[in-house]
Structure 1
Amino acid sequence: MMCRTDQSVPEPGEEQDVDATDAVFTSLLEDSTEELYEQAPCGYLSTLMDGTIAKINTTLLDWLGLDRSRVVGRMRFTDLLTVGGKLYHETHFAPLLQMKGEVNGIAMDIKAAGKQRMPVLVTSKVKTSEDGEPLLIRTTVFDARDRRAYEAELLRGRKAAEEARQQSEADRARLQEALAVLQQSLLPTALPVVPGLEAGSYYHTASPDLLGGDFYDLFPLDAGRWAFFLGDVCGKGPQAAAVTSLARYTLRAAALHDADPITALTTLNTVLHERYASGEGRYCTAIFGVLQPEDSHVSVHLASGGHPPALIQRANGNADYLPTPGGLLIGVLPRAAFTAARTDLVPGDTLLLYTDGLTEARTGPERELYGDDALLAFTAAQTPAGPQALITALSGLLASFGDGLDDDTALLALGVPAALPTPASVDLT
């Protein structure tokens, strides 16, 4: 007994129905494929190996503004290109296609409707026979107008960014120049010539974009005495510069009224405290002193308010700090105690004042503080050759710190010239 299944032989008449259905499906598939080709969002064309156009879709014809009858069999692919496009096709595109058999995404321009230039991306591939003989070239053309507009906008953006960067650098350069001029206005243009004394100074700026608060000065009091000071204002920027200017001119005025070092610092403390007590507190550290040349030496009388101690390089090669312990920061309290000290400088001795940017520099892989001991050892290792030689050595030391030096540093060195050796007598008889 035979049973019919889905795989069984169809009844008479069924085979004709299946064939008809397949034919309709095939026809619909061909129509869909042709429609997809003609109305695709990109351009399609096929050319003979000499470039003659054998087939082209409606999309590309619409872009070109041409009829199919004018193109197929009558024009070559290069006829669709602009002058520049033709040149690029001949020198690059065609040789590359011949060598590789395909070229992907090459940017060119075609002559669109209305004689407009239309940017496109072109991909071509050579179709070959079974034995490898080239038959025709199939080319796909993508609309690159949006991409070209994007690239143009990107270029405009890059150009605007570059112009902004250049303007920013120019503005920064002008700002740095203005800050440098302002910084110099807070320091003496040049140290005066003091009879029987040598002087040297140096100012290292850690950041050219910020005003520092370090200051120093050397000026005459009367016919036989000279005043000097060096200080460091807390903070940076315009506010610190204002305090620096105030401190410098206050000390100058105070010294001309009463040159006693403790009195001068007390006057500065009163001025700063009264000026800034009602707002954000402003304070500084400073050393103020008086030099008085004598017959065989220069006497030094100084006082310190919270400042690192002065350092003395002796003519015999030794180096020592001049202790001034207990001096308070200037401007914090309405009344502050300051510590005075005295010493004599003989020929070959140099007195060094410095701000804490030097001793608080970071050194080595561990970024350790340079410190007072290292500065003392460095100074002792220098041959006593006067203030300027010591300043030169210290400026080189500051440069060696690199980015470990994150604070401005001011140096002021005062010394007595070494006595010249007495020429040996010569017997002329």
Structure 2
Amino acid sequence: MESFDVTDGALPPVPAEEEPAGAGTGERARLAAVRRYQILGTPRDAALDRIAALAARIIDAPIGAVTIVDDERVWFAAAYGLPGVEQVTRGPGLCAEAVSRCGPYAVADTARDPDAREHPLVAGEPGVRFYAAAPITTPDGHRLGTVNVMGRRPREVAAEELAVLGDLAALAMEHLEMRLSALRAAALERAVHETAERERTQLAALADALQRSLLPPSLPELPHCEIAAHYQPAIEPIGGDFYDLFPLDEDGRRWGLFIGDVVGKGAQAASRTSLVRYTLRTEAITRPNPARMLTGLDAAIKLDQAVYGPGGVEMWFCTAAAAIVRPGPGGAIITVAAGGHPPLILLRAGGRLESRELRGPIIGCLDGAMFDNVHVELAAGDTLLLYTDGLIDAHRDGARFGEDGLRAFLAGCAGMAAPALMERLRGLIATFDEPADDDIAMVALSIPG
């Protein structure tokens, strides 16, 4: 018998023995381990190529290889001195025989070995005549393949040389373990990223749906008037700005019009915006007086602070303008009150620009808050603009846009109907610096000329 095992560095080589009980759990488990390390069919690995080259040089052999033994093939994960060979059919002898043994394995003359002489690398190119290998063994005892050397002339291999192959096989196993850990880490990172991306998409969809629920899906047609609105979110997908327009009677003689800004961002601001919006709607129906509507909203916010705030009180507030619009042929009468809100702007048909301060405290902050009604009349060609402070607090070319900047911009918009004015304002917003720090809500109402 020309083949032999070497165990524990014993000299001379001893005949192969049966695999000890408990060294493995059978071929099915071994193949499962091969699949686990995900090395079959992958591109050549530089570290394994170096191991194959070291094996050949240290043993003074023309061919070195790192192989993985599959169920029907032997795949060369790395090779030195064996160009063009990626895999061979699994058959008796050489690598297939080596993975059936516990320790290093050698064939001094393949032509005289009944298991090896029909092997394709022996019977064909490169005409292998000697072979030596050490199994690549997993920590749980499965032999994946071999680190081996081959030559075209018969020769004996010393036990010390086989021990070197064993060390190189251990290095190959350590590399495969690190590679598997990297693959698992990459898979985990990819799974985390995909989960985060999926959750981000779902959250974005929920945020969009929530934000849409805080704004009318579309503005109703206002008799004898043109109306346009725009909402521009800041960095957060959900903001506290809102606007609303709805009829207060069946014949469309009176309409409620609101615009406002609730402190905060995200879901908490959205819940507060919902409270503000529906409180104003209820107040408009039961008490269609803008000053009284804001008084009722102020009371509702303070009640919410006392009931739901940690420790009994959590300060939050909003700014808002509430209006009752009475449209008619050729004009509209608007009664409006505000708390902490920017001035309303009137673009008159003749080109004059009017800014009206709306006196009233921030809503939800002060005891005994009082709000005043202001009456505005719109004639043919006139336009009313209401907006939140995000429009004037935004930065353009590094400087705050401000009320002066807005008035200068609107000076060139005289005579524009509400839809055209809103389109022009959207273009203005596009020129603001990014990222925006605050949401912007705008409503324009005009009387056709």
Residue 216 of structure 1: aligned partner: 243
Q: Which residue of 207, 222, 230 maps to 2:235?
A: 207
What one-letter code is carried by the residue in structure 2 that aligns with 1:171?
A: E
Q: Which of residues 325, 336, 339 in structure 2 aligns to 1:302?
A: 336
Partner residue, 1:107? none
Show the counterpart of 2:104: 65
Are residues 234 and 193 of structure 1, via their aligned partners in 2, closer, same or farther at CA, if it must alter by over 3 Å?
A: same
Q: 1:347 aligned to 2:380?
A: yes
The corresponding residue for 1:284 is 318
Shift in Å, 1:227: 1.9
> CA 1:289–1:65 in 2, change beyond 3 Å: closer, same or farther?
same
Per-residue deviation, 1:334: 3.0
Task: Check 1:417–1:74 CA distance in 2 against 1; reply closer, same or farther (3 A cut).
Answer: farther
What are the within-5 Å matches in structure 2 for residues 73-152 of structure 1?
A: 112=135, 116-118=143-145, 143-152=171-180
Hey, what does 2:290 align to over in structure 1?
A: 261
Counterpart check, 1:324 vs 2:358:
yes
Is 1:371 matched up with 2:402? yes
Q: Which residue does the alignment assign to 2:61?
A: 47
In structure 2, relative to structure 1, the CA distance for the partners of 1:64 and 1:266 (3 Å cut) is same
Alignment of 1:158 onto 2:197: no
> After the TM superposition, which segments of 4 or more aligned residues of structure 1 sit over 4 Å from their partners?
48-52, 113-122, 139-142
Percent identical residues: 35
Structure 1 counterpart of 2:268, from 232, 239, 248? 239
CA distance in 2, matches of 1:411, 1:303: 16
Match of 2:209 in 1: 181
The answer to whether the 8 Å contact 1:219/1:228 transfers is: yes
Q: Indicate if the aligned counterparts of 1:179 and 1:208 stay in contact, CA closer than 8 A.
A: no
Aligned-pair distance for 1:225? 1.9
Shift, 1:262, TM fit = 1.1
Aligned to 2:390: 357
Deviation digits for residues 362-411 of structure 1, max 9, x if unmatched? 222xx321211111112222353311111112222223325231221111
Within 1, Cα distance between the matches of 2:421 and 2:201?
32
Matched letter for residue 245 of structure 1 = S
Amino acid at match of 1:242: S
Question: 1:99-128 CA deviation, whole Å, 9 max, x = no partner?
Answer: xxxxxxxxxxx7738994447699xxxxxx
- Counterpart AA for 1:375: L
- Displacement of 1:275 in angstroms is 2.4
> 1:300-330 CA deviation, whole Å, 9 max, x = no partner?
22111001111222223333322224x1011
2:301 to 272, 276, 289: 272
1:410 is the counterpart of 2:441: yes
* Cα deviation code 1:331-381 (max 9, x no counterpart): 1123112243222212222111111111111222xx321211111112222
Shift of residue 231, structure 1, vs aligned partner = 0.7
Corresponding residue SS for 1:358: helix
Contact 2:321 2:338 in 1 (8 A): yes
TM-fit CA distance, 1:271: 1.6
Q: State the alpha-carbon separation in 1 of the partners of residues 337 and 120 from structure 2.
A: 86
What does 1:28-47 align with in structure 2 at a 5 Å threshold? 43=55, 44-47=58-61
Whether the 8 Å CA contact 1:285–1:330 is kept in 2: the answer is yes
Q: Tell me the TM-score normalized by structure 1.
A: 0.67
Q: Are 2:226 and 2:417, in contact at CA under 8 Å, matched by a contact in 1?
A: yes
5+ residue gaps, structure 1, are: 1-40, 53-59, 90-109, 123-138, 419-429
Partner of 2:154: none
The aligned counterpart of 1:389 is 420
> Does structure 1 retain, via aligned residues, the 8 Å contact 2:224–2:330?
no
Separation of aligned partners in 1, 2:185 and 2:445: 57
- Displacement of 1:264: 1.1
Q: Which amino acid aligns with 1:348?
A: G
- Partners of 2:217 and 2:291 lie apart in 1 by 27
Post-superposition shift, 1:63? 9.3
> Higher Cα Rg: structure 1 or 2?
1
- Structure 1 residues 121 and 338, CA gap change in structure 2 (3 angstroms): farther
Q: Which moved more, 1:245-254 or 1:336-345?
A: 336-345
Where do 5+ consecutive residues of structure 2 fail to align?
Answer: 1-50, 64-79, 83-97, 127-132, 150-164, 307-311
Q: How many residues align?
A: 329
Q: Cα distance 1:246–1:47, how it changes in 2: closer, same or farther (>3 A)?
A: closer
CA distance in 2, matches of 1:408, 1:164: 31
Amino acid at match of 2:261: D
Specify whether residues 113 and 146 from structure 1 end up closer, same or farther in structure 2 by C-alpha distance, changes over 3 A only.
Answer: closer
